[in-house]
Structure formats: structure tokens, C-alpha cells
Amino acid sequence: MNLGQQVNLLRQRLEEMLPGYTIESDIQLCEFFTEYQLGVDVYMELPAPSGVDERWVALCFMACGQRERALEHFLKSIASGHEMARIDLVRLFGILGRYDEAVEELRILSPEDLQGYNQAFWYRNRSFIHSLRGDNTSALADMNTAWKIIQGVPEFRFVAPKILVGLTEAYNYEGNKEKALYYIGRAEEMALGNIKWSVLMTKAQLLFAVGKWDAVHEVCVYIKSKSGILQHEIFSCFMLGQVALVKNNLTMAEDWFLEALDISKKHLFEGFEFILHGYLSSIYKLQKQNLKAKKAINRMQKMVSTPLSENIYKMRKTYIDLDELNAANGLDILLQILEFRKNEKDLDETVRIYIHLCNFCLRHNLNLLDEYIKIMLEMMIKDDSLYVAFDEWIFFPELYEYVQRKYDKILPEYNSIIYIYSIDREDIVLREQIMKIPLSKTFELIVYLLCHGESSLASILTDVFVDMDTQKAKNYFHQIRHILASKNHVIQIVFDKTSKRYRIKSAHPIVWDLQDYLQGKHKMSGIFLPSSGSDWVIELNQRLSE
């Protein structure tokens, strides 16, 4: 079917729904029916696009995730005299972090001079800017105004789902999860064509905010398998990665993020790519893959383009540099980011930076730790949002354990954390069960690699298998690797082809009892690896006991 035939089919559908309705542009018709790529294709065939055409193709580009192209065509539309494009430009400026320009566009057009859905979208987009500024009360008021306006407009079926999504987000930010779930349900009932994917993405985010991980997984798998739209595929992979994080499955999270990153790179979705590099850098840091962590954070730095993205980058960077930063410098950086986030009044991201700040205080034994924890918890309780930024806690298992222990298990429970006890005992505990450890030397090998981060085979054989001849030690080492790999991948010993060293990889975060002593926080009392007589163990016992 050629373009003309496809557009004629849409015209017939429109006539059935709204007899006698006159459209402004064939591209508007495509946008109404969520045939965004068709709208772009129709535009490309126009010999002399009008300002109206420019506005509607900009909306199509925006729906396809091509923000720079959308900006280009909104500006062309306005330059040609079509002022209505300013309404939509407000939202794009907000997404791009250009808040002052968004406010200026709102000032240029008065809602009293607008009619119908244009007036409704003016309020909807101002609501979006209010929410970005943290003014949730004004955001909700504007969304309710927009909802009232569209009740009598002929385009109701086409514009209602977008307004309902905005209402959902406003009620969610206000802390009214019940109403948010109601309105997203209404949007799902009314969604036509591809708009349903945007509705489902909002539903997934809302379900994530209330801790319904399995439901999020189900929605995102459905979006990924059925949508056929690249940005939806990236979004679903990203959220599936977040679900894997809250379920403490680092391996699965990494796989989902890498899949999303691959699509983002191929199709130049830099906004997604930036965020994904940040998450991956934190995963690699937790897994002690330092080279990969630095590569990801360096890539993130190159993509910084706004004050918002700069602060997101700095937050991730302080985690990567956690062991190198001194207390004063690190604290100063994190407090500056926190001040920026407070001005934005974004609860999710404010809590996220508090988590980083509290972890930094814990690592450096700063007296401010409990003060910051209390502020963070009060914010979360006030908004009934204990699940907020929950995917971030996986990177800080020691902090999570500290908060749960001191504040009566106030946070939601993670599925599983691996506890490794190596002082006066030699146990690995998962879900309150002591794991069976096959073969002698397995526990010592695991702890050795945790202690060193990465190690060459030669060092492992010399330090851990010193009493065996070289060939027998090699065989024994690889036998241990094979057995660990076959046990549900709870703990594996993997080979890094870049560094040519071995390291520990786990599907779950590890809390190790020796960690604080290695960082010099306390003097160790007790015996590290009591069953081992290896020289490296004896030397470490002496050093940590002094």
C-alpha cells in the first residue's frame, strides 16, 4: 500500500468516528491515529510543508524519541507563523532540561486566547513543568483543568489518553497512588493504536513505584514483544533491568541494560544511552570490574549536556571514585548535587542522592550519617514512597543492612543478599540458609578474589594452592570454577579477557564481614579464615589485628 492509500484509510476511519471533521494536515491525521512513522513519511513527500505540517511532524518525531528532529521542526513551525507549536515546544524544552525556555514559551501564549485541545494541552504542558519544578499541587490543578476542558471537544478520543497519562503522573507525584492507578486504567481503556504503548509505559513506572515488580515485568515483556517501536523496546529493556536490580539479580540487570544500550547506540537515542552507562558503571563497580566501570563513566561524561545531566554524572562518578575520594571533597560534591536536586524537588532523584550521600558517610565513618538517614526516611514516609529509588539500594548492601538493623527494618525487603562470613567461621549464607561449599580451598579461593578484586592465575596458584604442584593446582582451580558455575550462578569465578585476570561474579550483592577491616575502619578481633594456613592469610591476620 502506498502512502496515499494509507492516508485514505485513516481518513475513512476518521469519518466513521467524527463525521464531517476537518483536519489541519494529513500529518495531524497520522499523529491522531498514532501512525507516527507514516506521518514522517508523508511529510518527506510534501513539496512545500506548511507551518501546521511542521508542528505535526515535530510531534511525530517526538513520539518516536527523536528529540533533536522534533525541536528543529517545532522551531520551523513557529518561524513560519504557526504559534500553536509553542504549546508543544514547552514539553520538549522540559524534557531537554531547558526549563527557563519552557517557561518563556508558556508566557508568550495566554490560555484564554486558546480553544479546545490546544487550550487543554497548554495546561497539560504547564503541569509537566510544574512537576519538574516540584510544585505537585499546581501540577495536579493544571491537569484537572485540562481534563475538564477536553470533555466537550470533538477530538476527545484522540487526546484523552494523553491527558489521562498526565493525570496519572500528577496524582502519583502527589502521593495518591490509588487515583493514579485509576486514571492509568482509564487511559488504557481508551488508548487508540500506538498510544497504548505510552500508556503501558506509564503504567509500568507506576507499578514500579508501588513495588509490584512481577506486574512491571509482565507489562514490559509485553511492550517489548508487541510494540515494534524502538524507543519502547529500549524503555522496556531498561525497566526490566531495574526490576532485575530490585530482585538482586545483577547478571540479568546487566544483560537488559546492555541490550537497551545496543539499541540506543545504533539509533542515536543519547538520552537513554547516558542513563544506561550510569547504571552499568555502578554494576561494574559493585562487581569490582574497575576497568569497565571507568569506561562506562567516561562515556557518560562525554554525553553531559545540561546541568541536570552533569549532576547525574557526578553522582555516579562519586560512587566509582568512592575509594579514592577524601571525606571533605566527596562530601562537598554530594552536598552540591543534593542542593541541585532539592531545587528540582524530584523525590525519586532526591532520595537517590541521599542514598549515595549516606553511603559515603558510612564508608568514611562520618558523624552526619544518621542525620542524613533520618531526613531521607522522613521524606519517604511523608510521601508514602518507601519504594522510591529502590533500584539504587542494591549498590549499597552495607548501607541497606545498616538502615534495616538500626531503623527496625523500615525499608522493603530485598529478595536475597549473599553474606560471606570469614572471621571465626567460614560460611556463605543466602536466604538465611548456609550454602554447601564443594571441595576444600573453594571458600578460601572466593575470599582471596574478593580481597584482591582481580588476580592472575599465577598469583592464585602461588597464594592459594601453594602446597600443590602447578598442573594439579590448575586442574583443581578449574574444577572449582566449573562446580561453582553449575550451582545456579550464585557465585562464579569468571575470566576477564581484557585484564586477563579472574574475579568473582555474583547474581546478588555480597556483604562480607571482612570489608570494614580491610578499609581500616576497625581493628579486627577474631581469626580470619581459621582453617587456612596459607601465607597470605597469616599475613592478613597479623596486619588487621595490629
In order, the DSSP letters of 188-208 are: HHH--TTHHHHHHHHHHHHHH
Which is it for the CA torsion 161, 165, 168, 174, positive or negative? negative
Specify whether the CB–CB gap between 157 and 192 falls below 8 A.
Answer: yes
Report CA dihedral (247, 253, 256, 261) to the nearest 10 degrees: 140
Alpha helices in 321-439 (DSSP H): 327-344, 347-363, 369-382, 397-406
Distances 245 to 10, 161, 194, 512 between C-alpha atoms, Å: 43, 30, 29, 19
Of 63, 61, 110, the C-alpha closest to 83 is: 110
Specify whether the CB–CB gap between 321 and 364 falls below 8 A.
Answer: no
pLDDT in tens, the chain (546 residues): 899 999 999 999 999 999 999 999 999 999 999 999 999 999 999 999 999 999 999 999 998 888 899 999 999 999 999 999 999 999 999 988 888 999 999 999 999 999 999 999 999 999 999 988 878 899 999 999 999 999 989 999 999 999 999 999 999 888 788 899 999 999 999 998 888 998 999 999 999 988 888 899 999 999 999 988 888 999 999 999 999 999 888 888 999 999 999 999 988 788 889 999 999 999 999 988 889 999 999 999 999 988 888 999 999 999 999 988 999 999 999 999 999 887 666 788 899 999 999 999 999 999 999 999 999 999 999 887 889 999 999 999 899 989 998 998 899 887 667 889 999 999 998 866 788 888 889 999 999 999 998 999 999 999 999 889 999 999 999 999 998 887 655 789 999 888 899 999 887 778 888 887 886 666 888 999 999 999 999 999 999 887
Q: How far is CA 311 from the centre of its chain?
A: 15
- CA Rg value for the chain: 27
Count Cα atoms within 13 angstroms, Cβ side, for 20.
1
Domain map of the chain by residue range?
3-227+235-240, 311-406, 418-545
Which superfamily is assigned to 3-227+235-240 in CATH? Tetratricopeptide repeat domain (1.25.40.10)
CA distance 27 to 307: 35
- How confident is the model at residue 521, as a pLDDT? 60
- How confident is the model at residue 83, as a pLDDT? 97
Cell numbers of 391, please? 533500584
| pTM listed for this prediction | 0.74
Which H or E element spans position 496? strand 491-496
Q: Beta strand 427-430 with 501-506: parallel, antiparallel or unpaired?
A: unpaired
Cβ neighbours of 278 (radius 10 Å) = 24
Q: Is 171 buried (19+), middle (13-18) or exposed (0-12) by CB count in 10 A?
A: buried
Cell numbers of 283, please? 554494576
Specify whether the CB–CB gap between 273 and 302 falls below 8 A.
Answer: no
Report CA dihedral (52, 58, 64, 68) to the nearest 10 degrees: 170
CA distance 270 to 2: 32
- How confident is the model at residue 525, as a pLDDT? 85
Count Cα atoms within 13 angstroms, Cβ side, for 160.
18
CA distance 195 to 31: 10
Phi, psi of 468 (to 5 degrees): -105, 155
